[in-house]
Structure 1
Amino acid sequence: MKHQTKAIRMTRKLAPLTALALVALTPACAQGDVDLTNKSAIEKIVRDYILENPEIIEEALIALSEKKAEEEAAAARKAITDNHDLIYKSKNDFAIGPEDAPVTLVEFFDYRCGYCKRSMEWTMALPEKYDNKVRVVFKEFPILTAESEKAALAALAAGEQGKYAEMHRELMQLDNSTGFDKDDIDAAAERAGVNVDKMRADMESVKLQKVVADNKSLARKIGVDGTPAFFVGDEFVPGADQSRVNMMIENALAEIG
């Protein structure tokens, strides 16, 4: 039914665009028997032609889908280019790997996202895997629960103490089923070597709350609506597609020689 409805809509779109061309091919038109100002007559010819050649609907849908995909990809690349510095060079973000690494990978994530959790060890190992030619930037993007936002603020606060990577790992390893309550987060901070009292105070700061709000705003601008999401150059991979991300990194490294 869905495909039929789509086909009907496509037929309606095609009719005004192709009517004259189709009518011109008919014997009636060649003999001058068709009034090209008669809308009903034209629509009937178009309808009959499509019913006799239904494959043109599929061809048109494929072409439309490909055109839409190309337009969306171009729009996505432009959005990334327009917001390049906010994605790759924000001083509010924490990262692993050398600052002068030739390739930067940016990850938008949520600490309660199962795919983010399963990707954590792989993500953390990327600088070493690529001989320190890759830097990984972490974008706190807590969208799943209120606890997600608390965890994000805790990680940023730990970063104020130079313990971001340690806290990031601890939070990613928390069990989602326990709820990420205050005790869970505080215990994770203690394991990470974080001063919990200072962390709690910093979590209330306007500065760190603005970082989270700015990340959410940036995500809307560049089309990120789920986690994880990875960026390399002007390319974007939604979801935990590790092989595709690795390919993007390797292509970027190949380009710079």
Structure 2
Amino acid sequence: MRRLTAALLLGATLSTPAAAFDISAMSPEEKEAFGTAVRDYLMENPEVLIESINVLESRQAQDAATTDLQLVQQHQADLFEDEASWVGGNPEGDLTMVEFIDYRCGVCRQFNQEVHDAVEEDGNIRLILKEFPILGEDSVRSSRFAIAVLQEAGPEAYAKAHDALMALRTPATPAALEEIAGDIGIDAPAVMARMDSDDVTAVLAANQALGQAMAIQGTPTFVIGDQMLRGVPRAGVAETIAQIRETM
């Protein structure tokens, strides 16, 4: 009888409007009996809790996906039409992928080649990289250097600097950055002088503002078409691109 009572009461709390089941109207004795019955039922049927948690997590994931979709729609211009960011892959591609990166981010480094391979294999992706340094002074210095290279020496030099920064395992000291500039054959003094310019600062400020508006707290973060992926997709970059293409 106690188990049946608990089941009925639990069902009431989960499916009945609050006004139809008012716990506040119970006497202290009734509240205590109700709590004991529910506890006993859940202890004997823990799968009910697991099922409830699974439903809750599914709803939360759906809500988050809907919110992210709205954020991408709201910030399309800043994401896809930003003239200050590097554009690679196929500039005329039918699918745009944006990646927020930090050169000191281990995951960004780990998947850098996978991102480039996926873009190259697809052949029809427009790739935009957004400098988003969040891991300290080395991150900021690296991003300032990359942006300065883009502004001073152009997109091809940026691509080389980007890969060199991703491969850099020592601190991004001025000497290390000057060495990278020399290795890729650009004017190191000019790039180093530009790093602290207002133009470079403006790019970083715009990216930070966009990241804040889109609640981006980590790298890498991807926007592929209208989908936002917070972190590396579990299925892999190439497979995720293929899945998104199926919905286009």
Pair in the same fold by TM > 0.5: yes
Q: CA deviation at 1:123?
A: 1.9
Find the aligned partners of 1:241 and 1:252 in 2 and give their Cα distance. Answer: 12
Other-structure match for 1:213: 205
Q: CA deviation at 1:21?
A: 4.5
Q: CA deviation at 1:85?
A: 1.7
Other-structure match for 2:32: 44
Other-structure match for 2:165: 171
Q: How many residues matched?
A: 229
Other-structure match for 1:188: 180
Task: Describe the SS at the equivalent of 1:125.
Answer: helix
Q: Contact 2:132–2:207 at 8 Å: present in 1 too?
A: yes
Q: Which runs of 5+ in 2 are unaligned?
A: 1-9
Find the aligned partners of 1:21 and 1:61 in 2 and give their Cα distance. Answer: 22
The structure-2 alpha-carbon separation of the partners of 1:40 and 1:74, relative to structure 1 and needing over 3 Å to count, comes to: farther
Other-structure match for 1:65: 57
The structure-2 alpha-carbon separation of the partners of 1:137 and 1:232, relative to structure 1 and needing over 3 Å to count, comes to: same
Post-superposition Cα deviations, 1:152-184, rounded to whole Å, max 9, x if no partner, equal: 011111111111111111111111xx2111100
Find the aligned partners of 1:150 and 1:80 in 2 and give their Cα distance. Answer: 28
CA RMSD of aligned residues (A): 2.6
State the AA in 2 paired with 1:249.
I
Task: Describe the SS at the equivalent of 1:137.
Answer: strand
Q: CA deviation at 1:42?
A: 4.7
Q: CA deviation at 1:22?
A: 9.4
Q: CA deviation at 1:192?
A: 1.6
Q: CA deviation at 1:238?
A: 2.5
Q: Contact 2:95–2:126 at 8 Å: present in 1 too?
A: yes
Find the aligned partners of 1:49 and 1:193 in 2 and give their Cα distance. Answer: 76
State the AA in 1 paired with 2:28.
S
Task: Describe the SS at the equivalent of 2:96.
Answer: strand
State the AA in 2 paired with 1:204.
D
Pairs within 5 Å for 1:73-152: 73-130=65-122, 132-152=123-143
The structure-2 alpha-carbon separation of the partners of 1:120 and 1:206, relative to structure 1 and needing over 3 Å to count, comes to: same
Q: Contact 1:19–1:42 at 8 Å: present in 2 too?
A: no
The normalised TM-score by structure 1 is: 0.79
State the AA in 2 paired with 1:213.
A
Q: CA deviation at 1:45?
A: 4.5
State the AA in 2 paired with 1:173.
A
Find the aligned partners of 1:41 and 1:192 in 2 and give their Cα distance. Answer: 79
Match of 2:41 among 45, 53, 64: 53
Identity of aligned residues (%): 23
Find the aligned partners of 2:81 and 2:31 in 1 and give their Cα distance. Answer: 56
Find the aligned partners of 2:210 and 2:32 in 1 and give their Cα distance. Answer: 50
State the AA in 2 paired with 1:174.
L
Q: CA deviation at 1:255?
A: 4.1
Q: Contact 1:107–1:231 at 8 Å: present in 2 too?
A: yes
Q: Which runs of 5+ in 1 are unaligned?
A: 1-10, 24-35
Post-superposition Cα deviations, 1:115-174, rounded to whole Å, max 9, x if no partner, equal: 2112122222333211x2112110101111201111101111111111111111111111
Q: Contact 2:115–2:237 at 8 Å: present in 1 too?
A: no
The structure-2 alpha-carbon separation of the partners of 1:152 and 1:61, relative to structure 1 and needing over 3 Å to count, comes to: same
Q: Contact 2:114–2:237 at 8 Å: present in 1 too?
A: no
Other-structure match for 1:231: 223
Find the aligned partners of 2:138 and 2:51 in 1 and give their Cα distance. Answer: 48
Find the aligned partners of 1:53 and 1:147 in 2 and give their Cα distance. Answer: 55
